[in-house]
Structure 1
Amino acid sequence: MCGISGIIGSKANTAHITKMTDALYHRGNDNISHFTEKGIVLGHNRLSIIDLNASANQPFQKRNQPYILVFNGEIYNYIELKEELKELDHQFETSSDTEVLYEAFLEWGENCLERLNGMFAFAFWNTATKDLFAARDRFGVKPFYYYMDEDNFIFASEIKAIQEVVKANLNKKVLANYLMYGSYGLPDETFYETIHQLAAGTFLKVHQPKIQLTPWYDFVTRVHKKRKELADIDETTAKKEYKKLLEKSIALRFRADVPVGFTLSGGVDSSLLLALINQRKDAGKMKAFSFYTDDKRYDELPWVEKMTKKTQTDLKKICFTPEDFSTWHKKMSYIQDEPYGGIPTLAYAKLFQEIAREGIKVVLDGQGMDEAWAGYDYYQTSSDQNIQGQSASSPFKLNVLSEDLKRAAKKPDYPKPFGNELLDKQYRDLFYTKIPRALRFNDRLSMAATTELREPFLDYNLVEYAFSLPEHFKIRNEQGKYLLRQILKEYSEDIAFAPKRPLQTPQREWLADELQEEVEKHINALESSTFAKYLNFDEMKEEWKNYLSGSQESSFHIWQWMSLNELIKIDVNHQ
């Protein structure tokens, strides 16, 4: 796991690329190297996971080849690809997945992407043709941001690295959509006007000053085909085939030359992950980590401890308290560059800091099951909401926004490629809402601790299979993830059929009590900020008063104001 950066154009110099790699120091500091040539600089921050030797350092180039590679991520099936490439007479000098990616690109060009099972964002610079080719993995697990004007193309793993070289104004439309609809932007957008994302499953080609974007992962077509294959499958076969795919996915993500751990909650997803990991021969070496807030209304420790006791897994518990809030909120606001998901994200960040202190560099996590298996309650309703456990009242307070800001908003209109309400909701959450923002939050907080996070449940074979199964395998008896629960039932029946728990921390209560002063500091700071003209502070203070009086169906609007204030402070610091 690493950080990548580069500049093509007039700003390409050693001073700028050094600033960029310095900004990405937390993403990897086992080795930091640059490639410089007239009109092009590349940077790489390495966190050594596979092949710890210096020969696998990047930027990576092989003798007599024009390509320079910078790569962030892991190619999990690199061993199998390496054997295939050896049969095609490719020679290898390292045991790294970096070199396998390099040789795969030499052999198959852009078509190599279809052969990769992994999480990745990478760029190849061709020193002969002066072209750049860059790509991002199927679900966007690894980030790729870019800026382009007439003279420069600049890319990096995080927004802050780009802002070391060019300044970017906040994106008024994305901010308005966040405050009005809870959107964090479309797949190609960020909270900054001139800084974009390379969308998941997309590659780009740059020949300055032209850029060409091409989607390479056709999820919809693949699912249409898979649905026909699975239309008449029986439950026993489906369970057997999915479990086999799941075990393979976990095995691939165990490939590392450093210690591996995993995070654990009391839900179906992570409990199943624990159960399957426990069957591995090296399970005894594994450590599980879980956070709690010492609030029995929300903590999942009873379920976590029940599973770890059954599997005899070494569990480390990390408590997140209101006293932790201020430090972690400032740190995560800087690390994330954009608004993020509340106190659960902060607790998760503290958890990863403790994981790093234990000397663990690779962590497995249970992200992705709810979207593939229709686990959220709103999948069983006709509403278009995407917030698990949300009450009928809106979590957004439009009355605090100016008319000018409201006019800037444009309600996101997500594609509906399947013509099926459930599938279209799942598709929206996989590619536009839930998964993109969760992956961004989790990439930043894990890399802030200089650890690598792997999500076995987001293996594309698993997602496509679960997504394509008939609906009765997903939802039955008003409960999602039916077949998944049947698999977990073999290990723990009571956890398998526990209801989905949407909240993990007492955020609503803390904001009104222990963190009341923090909230008021943010509101006061907004009132004296450059963004004040877009807000109605009489309405905001009235909403805050109502919240303190017990109107706490949702705390999201309070969190939005705090996030907005931090975003404005970061923006001011970059001016």
Structure 2
Amino acid sequence: MCGISGIYAFTEEGRKAIGRLPHTTDALQQRGPDSQGHFTHGNVGLGHRRLSIIDVSDVACQPMVDEAERYVIVFNGEIFNFQELRQQLISQGYSFFSQSDTEVLLKLYIQQGPEFLKKLNGFFAFAIYDKEEETLFVARDRMGVKPLLMFQDEDKLVFASEMKSILEFGIPRKLDYVSLYEYLQLNYIPAPASIFKGVKKLMPGHYLRVGKKGKTEIKRWYKIPYDEKKAKNNSLSYEAQQKKLVDLMDGAVQRRMISDVPLGAFLSGGIDSSVIVALASRHTQHLNTFSIGYKDEPFFDETKYAKLVADKYKTNHTVFSLTNNDLYEHLFRALDYIDEPFADSSALAVNILSYHTRQKVTVALSGDGADELFAGYNKHMAEYKVRKGGFVAETVAALLPVWEMMPKSRSSSFGNRIRQFQRFGEGMNLSAKDRYWRWATFATEDDAKSLLSGKVKRTLSKDVYKKRRQKILSHLSQKGDINEVLLTDMNLVLPNDMLTKVDLMSMANSLEVRTPFLDYKVVNFAFSLPQSSKIDGGMKKKIVQDAFRGMLPPELYKRPKHGFEVPLLKWFQNELKPMIMDDLLSDSFIEAQGIFNVKEIQRLKMQLFSSNLGDIHARIWALVVFQHWWKKWMM
């Protein structure tokens, strides 16, 4: 795992920015603490920071140049089938000077050009420069596990693994207010947009080619192969589907266990991470596993379930038992690393888990992706019930005026149930597209807009926002099934929220996280399955639960699903109250900043200390993250 940066200058003015290349790699130090390197040639510069995982010798350092000194590569990621690809190249007469997957990538590109991408099993963002043709080729993996940002003007194109790196090229820092508007609803910014005008994210499964005259083209090389009719008419029996899933997952886990440094696995006590540990234990003895527990939040502490799995598979298990104060002490560490507003609060827990895990291993396996592939979220069950209809669903919807009057809060079981009833009732009365958007967001469009100042609202482009939203929701229809929702999740929630969270927080701690559920063979298979294999009236993530039932302790099937929760509300009302009231969300700061509506911010602060909390903690957190980011990067 590493960090990369680069520049292709089109003019003499653009060439001046090549001298800033070392600053761009300095900004990526935590992604690659082991070494750094730079390459310059004419109008092109490439930078690299290395976290050594495969072939830790100096010969595998980057930028890497082929023997003919024509091609140069910088690479972030891992190719899990590189040994098989390497043998194929050797049989065709190629020789190798290293044992790295980087060299395999480089020589496959030399041999086959962009078509070689389809042979790769792994996650990656890389750039290859051809000195003879003076062309730059940049690609990103299928699911978007590894990030890549880019900026282009008339003088240059620059790219980097993180925003903090790309900013070192001296690009303009102009806010994209449509992105801010999306952020205030979702708590993250969907690709290809970013918080800054002109900075884009290369989409998952896409590549970019730059020519010497500045001609730039972007092409899609992979998309999830979903065919609604074929999925509904899948000829495999449910038992055969389960067997195939186990086989595919076993292969995905085994491929991801290749490493020249210590490897372990996250073990939350949920089904997904437990599946990964069960399969990994087939291929190694005494796997290192890691869990975090909450001393002060027993409702969210799942370590007893993780221990059942650890005991069953005799793993070398470590529990990091944390107090709320432990979490709080890491709060600003996480905030300081975020270089684009990102307000999924579970990032705080991922950060502290990654911090402690990194003390013992360099690579960790994770169960991420299963919920998006196999319908594991509460919103998937809600969508299933809306589409199925019936007396209960219609009754909940009919009682919407009642739910709207009652107090709602995520901090109590009763209040959270009322909140869910209200959201369900609202969704029943919406189209499939509008319902998806409502359930994906923490604030309605009107609520988000009310937070913006009059000046910002006047410059907000409704057409740009509408086009972005339509593209995100393009797979949804009134007559489709849950697979459409999952496909939308795979394009929106997974890369922009879940994978961004894990990449940011793991890289902040120089830890590589690998996700077997996102092996493209597993993903392709998942979208060949009918809805009935994934969800029914009584079970979410049905095929995953059934396929691995014999491998897991039965207690895991008799427990509620919890996410990574952190005590935001308690912090807001106690430790963080002075920072919120007197600094980040103070009237004077909001007025001087000119972005937000002072009166609406005041109303939110009042709600924070009321009995009707709703989703207030998530909305306040989005503002806190943005303001902290603003102070660090814009002042």
Asked if these proteins are the same fold (TM beyond 0.5), I'd say yes
- CA displacement at 1:171 relative to structure 2: 1.4
CA distance in 2, matches of 1:259, 1:291: 23
Indicate conservation of the 8 Å contact 2:8/2:158, yes or no: yes
Paired position in structure 2 for 1:307: 309
Which residue in the other structure is 1:560 paired with?
A: 622
2:55 alignment partner, one of 43, 48, 51: 51
Is 2:463 aligned against 1:416? no
Q: Judging changes above 3 Å, is the alpha-carbon distance between structure 1 residues 264 and 190 closer, same or farther for their aligned structure 2 residues?
A: same
| One-letter amino acid of the structure 1 residue matched with residue 5 of structure 2 | S
Deviation at 1:463, TM superposition (A): 1.4
Cα distance in 1, alignment partners of residues 179 and 326 from structure 2:
30
Tell me which amino acid in the other structure corresponds to 1:234.
S
Deviation per CA, 1:106-133, whole angstroms, max 9, x where unpaired? Answer: 1111000000000000001111111101
Q: Is the 8 A contact 1:526 1:532 kept in 2?
A: no
Kindly tell me: are residues 293 and 131 of structure 1, through their superposed partners in 2, closer, same or farther at Cα, counting changes over 3 Å?
farther
Other structure's SS at 1:367 match: coil
Identify the residue that residue 104 of structure 1 maps to in structure 2.
Answer: 108
Q: Distance in 1 between matches of 2:522 and 2:233?
A: 14
Q: What is the deviation of 1:291?
A: 4.5
Distance 1:530 1:133, change over 3 A: farther
Amino acid at match of 1:113: L
Residue 407 of structure 2 is matched in structure 1 by none
d(CA) in 2 for partners of 1:370, 1:69 = 35
Q: Give the partner amino acid of 2:4.
A: I
Go from structure 1 to structure 2 and tell me whether the alpha carbon gap of 1:441 and 1:12 turns closer, same or farther (over 3 Å shift): farther
- Map 1:128-139 onto structure 2 (within 5 A): 128-139=132-143
Aligned-partner Cα distance in 1 for 2:108–2:232: 30
1:324-381 Cα shifts (integer Å, max 9, x gaps): 45653333233221222444211221221112222x1111111000010011122233
Select which of 461, 469, 484 maps to 2:521. 461
What are structure 2's unaligned runs of at least 5 residues?
388-409, 411-415, 424-440
1:476 aligns with 2:527: no
Q: Are the counterparts in 2 of residues 369 and 457 from structure 1 also a CA contact under 8 Å? A: yes
> Which piece of structure 1 moves more, 397-406 or 480-489?
397-406
Q: In the alignment, is the contact (CA less than 8 A) between 1:287 and 1:315 conserved in 2?
A: yes
Matched, 1:39 2:43: yes
Q: 2:608 aligns with which of 519, 538, 547?
A: 547
Give unpaired runs (5+ residues) of structure 1.
none
CA 1:332 to 1:216, structure 2 compared with 1: closer, same or farther past 3 Å? same
The one-letter code matched in structure 1 to 2:521 is: N
In the TM superposition, 1:343-354 aligns within 5 A as: 343-354=345-356
The equivalent of 1:215 in structure 2 is 220
Asked if the contact 2:327–2:352 (Cα under 8 Å) also holds between the matched residues in 1, the reply is no
Matched positions, count? 566
Structure 1 residues 429-468: Cα deviation after superposition (integer angstroms, max 9, x where no partner): 1112244221112111111111111111111111121222
Gap change, CA 1:293 and 1:556, over 3 Å in 2: farther
2:77 counterpart SS class? strand
SS in structure 2 at match of 1:256 = coil
Deviation larger for 488-497 or 129-138: 488-497
The amino acid of 1:141's aligned partner reads: V
Contact 1:293 1:505 in 2 (8 A): no
Residues 54-85 of structure 1 deviation map (CA, whole Å, 9 limit, x = unaligned): 11111111121411101100000001111111
Task: Name the amino acid aligned to 2:511.
Answer: T
Letter in 2 for 1:266: G
1:392-431 superposed matches below 5 A:
392=422, 395-396=442-443, 397-398=447-448, 399-406=450-457, 408=460, 410=465, 412-413=469-470, 414-417=472-475, 419=477, 420-431=480-491
Q: Is the 8 A contact 1:124 1:132 kept in 2?
A: yes
**Where do 1:168-317 residues align within 5 Å?**
168-179=173-184, 181-182=185-186, 184-207=188-211, 208-219=213-224, 222-224=225-227, 227=230, 231-280=234-283, 282-292=284-294, 294-317=296-319
For residues 447 and 169 of structure 1, the distance between their equivalents in structure 2, rounded to whole angstroms, comes to 26
Is 1:6 paired with 2:6? yes
1:25 is paired with a residue whose SS is coil
Normalising by structure 2, report the TM-score.
0.84
Q: Does 1:486 align with 2:537?
A: no
- Give the aligned residue type for 1:479: M
Please tell me whether the aligned partners of residues 82 and 104 of structure 2 are also in contact (alpha carbons under 8 angstroms): yes
Deviation, 1:541, is: 2.2
**Alpha-carbon displacement from aligned partner over 1:40-66 (angstroms, at most 9, x marks no partner):** 111111111001111111111112141
Q: C-alpha distance in 1, partners of 2:335/2:296?
A: 25
1:515 partner letter = L
Q: Is the 8 Å Cα contact of residues 7 and 18 (structure 2) preserved in structure 1?
A: no
Question: Is the partner of 1:248 in helix, strand or coil?
Answer: helix
Assess if the C-alpha contact under 8 Å between 2:291 and 2:303 holds in 1: no
Letter paired with 2:334: M
- The CA deviation at 1:518 is 3.6
Q: How many angstroms apart in 2 are the aligned matches of 1:51 and 1:104? A: 18
Amino acid of the structure 1 residue aligned with 2:227? H
Contact 1:352 1:445 in 2 (8 A): yes
- TM-score for both structures, normalised by structure 1: 0.92
Cα contact 2:194–2:200 (8 A) shared by 1: yes
Give secondary structure in 1 for the equivalent of 2:346.
helix
